[in-house]
Each structure stands twice: as structure tokens, then as C-alpha cells.
Structure 1
Amino acid sequence: MKVLMVDVDGVLVHGRPSDGLPFATDLERDLGLSVEVLQREFFKCHWPDIVTGREPIEPRLSAVLQEIAPHLEAETLLQYWFENDSRLDPKLIDDLAAVRETGLALYLATNQEHRRAAWLMDELGLARHFDGIFYSAKFGHRKPAQDFFRLATTEAGASPDEILFLDDTLENVEAARVFGWNAVHWAAGMVLETAIAPFMATEENR
């Protein structure tokens, strides 16, 4: 293996820093906005275009908030979201660092819009731990689309069989395997060394 691709939400990041609950658990209490209304009026209608980079998040979110929560600025909601969806798995971060020291390149492979992708790297500090980020808004395709894996492979400068991928969504794992990546369906409680050992052993035996 030359490259290890890691999903963000559900693998590396798990909800609120304080307790791991979803970022919007107390949204109505804190910002006066119902999460159900936000899901219905914003995420359900507009997220597909935003997460694939066809539309920037700020103007669309601002327009929706004018209708459903006129007291709330888009920037306020974005910062609340990002800060409350940022609980890193410290054990996995340490284990990934050890793997990186062996010469394996580390990349994030994630469905994100532009703002949060930048925030994850710059504000949360993942740029210190990874060689880069491949994300859906940049590519114009989201996992599990085959074009996502094709573009990430090209950007990584590796062949599909040289890439190992961790994702908590089975559909994404299966799609990556179809493209030719090696892939692990990540679940709570898994240990990185154990999860990737079969693939590393295969590499050593070549």
C-alpha cells in the first residue's frame, strides 16, 4: 500500500466535543432554530448541489434562514455547526500518525462542502496530520459515485490497488472496492493496526 484514505464523519470525527452527540442536538435551545425545519428547508432541498460544489453554501443558507429563522445569520450557524461537529478520535489520530511514519501517504476522502472542508484542515488542524483532503465539492461528485474514487486516485498519484480506504458507510466501502481500492468498513471500537493488518500483510508478501 502507498496511500491510506480516511473518511471524516463517523470515522475520525464524532459529533460534539463535549459528548459526541450530533451537532444539532441543542440547536433550537442555543440558536432558536428547529433541526427538523433546517433539515426540511435546507439540507433536503439544497444539500445535494452544495456538497457537490454546484452551489456555494453561504447565499443559499442565508436565503433559507431569512425564511425560517430571520434572527439568525448564516455565519453564526456555520460556526456553530463546525465547532459542534468536531470531536476527534485521539487514539485513531495517534495510530494514523504511526502509520504515516512508515511512509504511507494519508489523505481524507470525504463528502464535504468547501467551507467545512477548509475548516477541518485549517481550524481543526487536520492539515498537520494528513497530506491533503479529497472532497466532494472539489470533485463535483460525492461518494459512492465511481467518479469520486477515480478523481481521488488520480490526485493521489497511485493505482487503485495501492490505496486502502476506511469508511463507516458500507455503500461507500463497496463502491470503493468496485473501483479497485482496498477498503475497510470502519465501526466503533475498531483498532487501526488490526483493521489494516491483512492488507499490509498482503503487500509484504508480494
Structure 2
Amino acid sequence: MDGVRHTLLLDVDGVLQFPRPEFVRAIERDYSWRAGYLAFQRALLADPAEARALTGDGALITLVERLLPQHVAGLSAPVFLERWVTENIAVNEELLTMLPGLPFDEIYLATNQEAVRGARVRELYSGRPGITGFLISHELRHRKPGRAFFDAALARIGRTPSECMFVDDKQQYLDGAARAGLATILYRDNAQLVADLTA
């Protein structure tokens, strides 16, 4: 590469990890949900408090404590969150093994996560070859696709937009990165991503 320091910002959910369908089956088997687990998940992710937790404004467990009793009996918020962050993540191990071979000096995981899931991301990927560090929304106090997320991320790592490339599976997040001046790639699968990054 040239003398410019090249840095990759890589999304987590939908790129480096995926939800496990087995989790839904297991948690519906273990508890009696009034309208099914997915109805609770939709309510959780649609609640404004969840969006605030992504930027470090409030704790997700408070929201889960409020919503869970409306959807299920006999399941506490701490037990649910523990199962959610440990059982509902399928890691893209194939892509992880490819990261050290990509033509970048640094690779940061750039992700929207509140504190509980953010801690799980750090636990899963700290020390993995090829991963330099983490840019997590609740720590940056901003979330994708807002330009403020990317500005804060670049300030944290000391890079300019022209030195970075951003990969995500969601077009609206890529659009946010592009508005901040970053080059972007839409993730579809591992082979396509590696081909695009090494082209």
C-alpha cells in the first residue's frame, strides 16, 4: 500500500455475527410467551429507551424489566439478558479467520451496542488476530448512521475519512459513513467482501 495508513471499520451485527434461530426456539420452549418471543423482541427494539441506551443514556436492563412482564411470566431481566447475549450470537468464524490477511493496517469493530451487548462484543473479539480495537456507540455517545458517530470514531482512532473504509450490511449506515467522507462497501457475504476489499 502507499504511505497512507489504511484503516478498516467493520460492522458487527449482520457482518461479523448473526442471530441464531435456535435461540428463539429454545426461549419459547422454556417460557410461556403471551404472543411469542419475537413480539417481545420487536417491542424491545422499537422502544425509544433502547435507542437511548445505544448512546449510553440509560441501561437496557431497566427497559427489559419494564417490558418483560407484559410478554412473559417467570423470566427475570438479568436471566433474559444473560441468555440473549450468550445464546443468540452466531460468530462469523470464517470471516474472522480472513481478517489478518486483509490489506489494512488496522481493523476496528464499529457497532451500535448498549453496554451489555457492547461488553459481550469485547469479550468475543478482544485478542482475535486482525482486530485492533472497538468503536462502540454507547462509549462514543453517538450511534450509526449519524455523522456524529463517524466523527467521534475517527477522532478516537486519530484517522481522517480518507484513511478509512467502512463495511456494513445496512445501506442507511453506509450512507451515514459516506456523508462523513468515508469510502464504503455493502456486505453481502464473506467471499464478496474479501474480493471487494482486496480488489
TM-score by length of 2: 0.85
Identical counterparts, % of pairs? 27
Q: In 2, distance between residues paired with 1:36 and 1:142?
A: 24
Q: 2:86 aligns with which of 83, 86, 92?
A: 83
Superposition deviation, residue 75 in structure 1 = 1.6
Amino acid of the residue matched to residue 44 of structure 2? F
Superposition deviation, residue 60 in structure 1 = 2.4
Runs of 4+ more than 6 Å apart? none
Query: Deviation digits for residues 124-175 of structure 1, max 9, x if unmatched?
Result: 2x01122221122222221110000100011111111101111000111122
Deviates more, 1:162-171 or 1:1-10: 1-10
Q: In 1, distance between residues paired with 2:117 and 2:71?
A: 22
Superposition deviation, residue 25 in structure 1 = 4.7
Q: In 2, distance between residues paired with 1:40 and 1:181?
A: 31
For the residue of structure 2 that corresponds to 1:190, the secondary structure is helix
Amino acid of the residue matched to residue 131 of structure 1? T
Q: In 1, distance between residues paired with 2:41 and 2:93?
A: 30
Q: In 1, distance between residues paired with 2:116 and 2:196?
A: 31
Number of aligned residues: 190
Q: 1:38 aligns with which of 28, 37, 40?
A: 40
Distance 1:189 1:94, change over 3 A: closer
Q: Which residues of structure 2 form unaligned runs of 5+?
A: none
Q: In 1, distance between residues paired with 2:148 and 2:185?
A: 19
Name the counterpart of 1:10: 14
Q: In 2, distance between residues paired with 1:10 and 1:157?
A: 26
Q: In 2, distance between residues paired with 1:92 and 1:103?
A: 15
Name the counterpart of 2:177: 176
For the residue of structure 2 that corresponds to 1:196, the secondary structure is helix
Superposition deviation, residue 66 in structure 1 = 3.6
Distance 1:120 1:184, change over 3 A: same
Superposition deviation, residue 178 in structure 1 = 1.6
Mapping of residues 1-206 of structure 1, within 5 Å: 1-16=5-20, 21=21, 23-33=23-33, 34-39=36-41, 41-45=43-47, 46-99=49-102, 104-122=105-123, 124=124, 126-129=125-128, 130-198=131-199
RMSD value over aligned CA atoms? 2.1
For the residue of structure 2 that corresponds to 1:183, the secondary structure is strand
Does the CA-based 8 Å contact 2:137-2:143 persist in structure 1? yes
Deviates more, 1:72-81 or 1:148-157: 72-81
Distance 1:23 1:184, change over 3 A: farther
